[in-house]
Copies of this chain bind each other. A is one copy, B any other.
Amino acid sequence: MENQHVGTQSIAFARPPYVLETASAGGLLEQQGPLGKSLDIALTDEMNHEDSWEKAESQMVLSTIRRVIQKSGLDRAQIQYIFAGDLMNQLTASGFAMRELAISFFGLYGACSTMGESMQLASMAVAGGYASYAVAEASSHFCAAEKQFRQPLAYGGQKPLYASRTVMGSGSVLIGYQGKPKAKITGITTGRVIDFGIKDSNNMGASMAPAAAHTICQHLNDFQVGPEEYDRIFTGDLGEYGLQLTKELVERDGYRPGERLSDCGMIIYDRENQDVHAGGSGCGCSAVTLINYIIPGLQSGKFKKVLFIPTGALLSPLSTQQGESIPGVAHALVLEAV
């Protein structure tokens, strides 16, 4: 039986690879949120014992990958690939961490969709017979991201309520066939870049919604199923308004996802009591929520089958200065209980 390309953008794995182990890290705000207690690594502060936010993020990536390897009981040499990415210019958070790991490295940039991209490629590597084990990783750091993409934190700038909060966190997932599975990855839908012309770089939710909706509808069409096939459909970091917009776009295509359409950015924080505006965002948002909410739900029987769709906005500060609109991309994985 061979892996099958399904429809126009999807793959159904003949032999679904497993999520064998996970590890996650989070900052103080994330620790105080609903998923805080299950984080593997709780940062003491945003400096993470380093002398810059950027080095702090890189050290967080390194710790998270080391933790997932340690929890798996595998030897580092048994892992063939790391697929990883982050939001920093030139992927320095991931790239610098790799110096310490001596594992073949594919650097990825999918903005906040990176956990989807890394898990898709790690699954393809395992199911293609290229690797016994591969690690998928993504990270973001609130302070480093604000500094790079928006304003120096010290300005104390105010944001519109439709803006989201970049998660300080990272997640590592070990994918392979041999071991006790936490979940299985039965299919993937790789996103196209979609741009509806949004130019407000505070409005990440609206920028990514068209890509999220496109990937969801394409996925349902490719696999010839309706939204009811899934207990939940989790977008990555659209926040309240982006999620609403995505729902409208999906409904315009004739699907009725209803309450099963939800967003990691609405789960990672307690929006009643934490001042995070529209919700969480950043590569770490979907990564941490996957590891501490979605996969545990698949293990506990709360969910049988979910669609996980990290979403990314492919802008740069310079592209915004040059008057460009904001393209989005979204990569989906079908995760099932075992």
Show the binding face of A for B, using Cβ within 8 Å: 2-5, 8-9, 11, 51-52, 54-55, 77, 80-81, 85, 87-92, 95-96, 98-99, 101-111, 117, 120-121, 124-125, 127-132, 190-195, 314-319, 322, 324, 327, 329
Q: Would A128 and B192 count as touching, CB distance under 8 A? A: no
Q: Would A98 and B3 count as touching, CB distance under 8 A? A: no
Please, how many angstroms separate the alpha-carbon atoms of A130 and B188 in the complex? 11
Q: Would B193 and A105 count as touching, CB distance under 8 A? A: yes
Q: Would A319 and B102 count as touching, CB distance under 8 A? A: no
- Which of chain B's residues have a CB closer than 8 A to the CB of A85? 109
Q: Would A89 and B316 count as touching, CB distance under 8 A? A: yes
Please, how many angstroms separate the alpha-carbon atoms of A111 and B90 in the complex? 7
Q: Would B117 and A54 count as touching, CB distance under 8 A? A: no
Q: Give how many copies assemble into the complex.
A: 2
Q: Whose C-beta in chain B lies nearest to the C-beta of A324?
A: B96
- Which of chain B's residues have a CB closer than 8 A to the CB of A87? 90
- Which of chain B's residues have a CB closer than 8 A to the CB of A322? 51-52, 54-55
Give the residue of B98, B109, B316 whose beta carbon is less than 8 angstroms from that of A327: B98
- Which of chain B's residues have a CB closer than 8 A to the CB of A90? 87, 89, 109, 111, 314-316, 319
Please, how many angstroms separate the alpha-carbon atoms of A251 and B296 in the complex? 51
Which 7 A-B residue pairs are closest in the complex by CB-CB distance? A128-B128, A98-B193, A104-B190, A95-B314, A90-B316, A107-B109, A89-B89
- With A90-B315, A193-B105: A5-B96 Cβ-Cβ less than 8 Å: no
Please, how many angstroms separate the alpha-carbon atoms of A283 and B104 in the complex? 19
Q: Would B107 and A327 count as touching, CB distance under 8 A? A: no
- Which of chain B's residues have a CB closer than 8 A to the CB of A327? 95-96, 98-99
Q: Would A190 and B314 count as touching, CB distance under 8 A? A: no
Q: Would A106 and B117 count as touching, CB distance under 8 A? A: yes
